[in-house]
């Protein structure tokens, strides 16, 4: 299938590592260009070099930016416009908040997570979505916690369902302009973040075996598998999909 991504330009927040980076690789492999953001210049330099090498052309630009910074949407849009004169969409990767139960998470942790995980994502989606032309698309990387709570992940369980509803609402608002908004709900994908969560249990191998036993496909997903789905959802090949919350979880979620 031709995803029709040649020469299109996408912003990818958190694109230097994890699911954001895997998605950026999938986009450039299909002919797109990307502006990736992150908080470390070194990691961005390494990621953009790898993306360019894989693509065999100048395909990536890195911008140091924090999702919690109100100026980030404008900076990312300006960088894409200066480099390539267009923006066709964005993948907004929402970072993982601290682990812990409701009974121990402090007000300060909730407030900090709200600023970065919730408000930062809403701001990016609002400002970038409003700037996109007809045919543009937004994807928000959320979590399976949108539909089912995760143990010891109170903040994720509290904030991500709200983000999913914001995305659904924004899909209604931007649909008449021809702009699509969708969410992706990763389950257990083999990223550094998931490895850290497994290790936090005190027995990473046992935690992984227990998680894999709950997944119908019997394994963790590869970041590349997630990236392929993200590239499709952002692309014109998915032109009649909007307001969708798409699990990428090997069958982990039991709800429809």
- Assess if residue 210 is contained within a domain: no
107 band by pLDDT with thresholds 50, 70 and 90: very high
**CA–CA dist 193, 18 (Å, integer):** 8
Q: For residue 11, what are the contacts with CB-CB under 8 A and spacing of at least 6?
A: 34, 35, 37, 76, 77, 80, 87, 89, 90, 91, 128
- Assess if residue 166 is contained within a domain: yes
Domains in the chain, number:
1
- Assess if residue 105 is contained within a domain: yes
CATH number assigned to the domain comprising residue 44: 3.40.50.720
pLDDT attached to residue 96 = 78
- Assess if residue 214 is contained within a domain: no
Q: What mean pLDDT value characterizes the chain?
A: 96
- Assess if residue 218 is contained within a domain: no
Cα separation of the two ends of the chain: 27
Q: Show the domain range for 187.
A: 9-192+225-247
- Assess if residue 217 is contained within a domain: no
Query: Is residue 202 left, alpha or beta, with left meaning phi > 0 and alpha meaning psi from -120 to 50?
Result: left
Does pLDDT of 193 surpass 80? yes
For the whole model, what pTM was predicted? 0.95
Does pLDDT of 94 surpass 80? no
The answer to whether the beta carbons of residues 66 and 46 sit under 8 Å apart is no
At residue 103, the 3 state secondary structure works out as coil
- Assess if residue 4 is contained within a domain: no
- Assess if residue 254 is contained within a domain: no
Query: Strand 9-13 to strand 33-38: parallel, antiparallel, or no bridges (unpaired)?
Result: parallel
The answer to whether the beta carbons of residues 228 and 28 sit under 8 Å apart is no
> Which residues share a beta bridge with 90?
11, 138
pLDDT attached to residue 256 = 83
Helices (H), ranges, the chain? 18-29, 41-55, 72-84, 107-113, 120-131, 154-174, 192-199, 204-213, 223-234
């Amino acid at each position: 299938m031709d995803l029709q991504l040649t020469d299109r330009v996408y912003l990818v927040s958190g694109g230097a590592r994890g699911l954001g980076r895997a998605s950026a690789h999938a986009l450039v492999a299909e002919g797109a260009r990307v502006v990736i953001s992150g908080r470390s210049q070194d990691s961005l330099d390494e990621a953009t070099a790898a993306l360019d090498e894989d693509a065999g052309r100048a395909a990536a630009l890195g911008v140091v930016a924090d999702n919690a910074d109100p100026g980030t949407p404008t900076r990312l849009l300006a960088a894409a416009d200066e480099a390539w004169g267009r923006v066709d969409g964005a993948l907004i990767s929402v970072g993982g908040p601290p682990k812990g139960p409701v009974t121990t998470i402090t007000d300060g942790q909730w407030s900090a997570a709200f600023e970065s995980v919730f408000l930062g994502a809403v701001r990016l989606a609002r400002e970038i979505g409003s700037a996109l032309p007809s045919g543009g698309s937004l994807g928000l990387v959320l979590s399976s916690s949108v539909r089912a709570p995760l143990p010891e992940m109170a903040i994720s369980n509290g904030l991500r369902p709200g983000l999913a509803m914001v995305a659904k609402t924004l899909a209604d608002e931007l649909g008449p302009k021809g702009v699509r908004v969708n969410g992706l709900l990763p389950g257990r994908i083999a990223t550094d973040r998931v490895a850290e969560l497994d290790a936090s249990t005190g027995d990473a191998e046992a935690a992984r075996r227990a998680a894999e036993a709950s997944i119908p496909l019997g394994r963790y997903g590869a970041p590349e598998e997630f990236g392929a789905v993200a590239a499709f959802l952002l692309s014109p090949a998915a032109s009649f999909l909007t307001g969708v919350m798409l699990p990428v979880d090997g069958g982990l979620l039991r709800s429809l």
